[in-house]
């Protein structure tokens, strides 16, 4: 079965109905239930008029994924990037229902019964709001300078996609509710001081625009009242997962420190429902 692709403007269902839509499509081998504003007949939260009860805006967690935690409806921004794609894979492997927010659906090669592709632009508040509606959690891996060779033509130097994207995501989330995990970078925030031998200075000198955008992104996240976590990886590599990722708010790092994208992606998914990481900025490296 191929994954379903919709434009952000078409996403009007509650998370439970999206989940049921995917399950029905899997069962029948096709997209049997259309996405719609009204709740599906089997939605337990619809009101007398047939609309979703917006007082309980988050997804159904009755079933359990393989890791034992509750199923979550997760939206991934930057999902076609080198790390974002691995986040999508890791979240699906953990049993979650995933919405991949993409600028170009052709760049998402993954297919899975619990994967939905939403086309939109993180710089556009309306399309972001449509995608975030009804989500349990958002993982943001946006970046202006993707590193993969095939992504070089997609770089957006000078475009503050990280900070503007984060602000759009936060504006779309219910006040005081929601889970947000943002991938940032070492040298940003407090990690500037935890870099050994001037590492923070060197990174910011080499990537001035990128890190300025990351600083603005983190500032917006810190000011929010959602359950946020900022994750700051050391230099990301394309190597296989090593399974030895170290994480800490005061973790030391240096200019040669690295973190595999696979390990970072797994960590981002692992902490989805970990209250110990709420309201914290965490440095990670292998």
HEC secondary structure over 135-191? CCEEEECCCCCCCCHHHHHHCCCCCCHHHHHHHHHHHHCCCCCCEEEEECCCCCCCH
Range of the domain at 214: 4-285
Residue 153 burial (10 A CB sphere; 0-12, 13-18, 19+)? exposed
- Examine the pLDDT at 20 and tell me if it is beyond 80: no
Q: Regarding predicted confidence, which is higher, 115 or 41?
A: 115
Residues above pLDDT 90, as percent of the chain: 67
Residues 6+ apart with CB under 8 A from 282: 229, 230, 231, 232, 247, 248, 249, 251
Q: Quick one: which of 101, 109, 186, 94 has its CA closest to 135? A: 101
CATH of the domain at 234: 3.40.50.720
Tokens 């080499």 appear where? 206
Strand-by-strand arrangement of the 227-233 sheet: 4-7, 115-119, 97-102, 73-77, 137-140, 179-183, 227-233, 280-285, 246-248
In the chain, the percentage of residues whose pLDDT exceeds 70 is 71
| Model pLDDT, residue 124 | 96
User: How confident is the model at residue 70, as a pLDDT?
Assistant: 81
Helix (H, G, I), strand (E, B) or coil at 89: helix
Structural domain tally of the chain?
1
| C-beta of residue 151 within 8 angstroms of C-beta of residue 81 | yes
155: tokens are 């770089």
Tokens read off for 37: 């504003």
pLDDT digits 0-9 by tens, 65-115: 544 458 999 999 999 999 999 999 999 999 999 999 999 999 998 999 999
* 150-158 mean pLDDT: 55
pTM of the model: 0.78
Distance CA 86, CA 109 (A): 12
Please, which pLDDT band fits residue 177 given cuts at 50, 70 and 90? confident
Average of per-residue pLDDT values in the chain: 81
């Amino acid at each position: 079965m191929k994954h379903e692709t919709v434009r952000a403007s078409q996403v009007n269902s509650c998370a439970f109905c999206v989940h049921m839509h995917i399950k029905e499509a899997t069962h029948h081998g096709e997209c049997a239930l259309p996405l719609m504003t009204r709740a599906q007949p089997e939605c337990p939260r619809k009101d007398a008029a047939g609309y979703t009860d917006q007082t309980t805006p988050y997804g159904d967690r009755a079933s359990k994924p393989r890791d034992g935690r509750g199923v979550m409806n997760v939206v991934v921004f930057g999902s076609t990037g080198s790390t974002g794609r691995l986040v999508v894979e890791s979240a699906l492997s953990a049993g979650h229902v995933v919405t991949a927010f993409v600028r170009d659906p052709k760049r998402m090669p993954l297919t899975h019964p619990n994967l939905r592709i939403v086309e939109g632009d993180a710089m556009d508040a309306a399309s972001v709001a449509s995608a975030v509606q009804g989500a349990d959690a958002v993982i943001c891996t946006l970046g202006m300078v993707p590193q993969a060779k095939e992504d070089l033509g997609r770089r957006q130097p000078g475009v503050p996609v990280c900070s503007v994207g984060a602000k759009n995501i936060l504006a779309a989330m219910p006040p005081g509710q929601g889970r947000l995990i943002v991938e940032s970078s070492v040298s940003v925030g407090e990690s500037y001081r935890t870099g050994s031998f001037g590492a923070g200075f060197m990174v910011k000198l080499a990537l001035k625009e990128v890190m300025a955008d990351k600083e603005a992104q983190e500032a917006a996240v810190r000011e929010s009242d959602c359950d946020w976590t900022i994750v700051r990886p050391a230099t990301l590599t394309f190597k296989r997962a090593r399974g030895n990722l170290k994480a800490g708010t005061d973790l030391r790092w240096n200019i040669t420190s690295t973190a595999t994208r696979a390990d970072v992606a797994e960590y981002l998914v692992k902490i989805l429902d970990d209250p110990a990481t709420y309201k914290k900025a965490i440095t990670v490296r292998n």
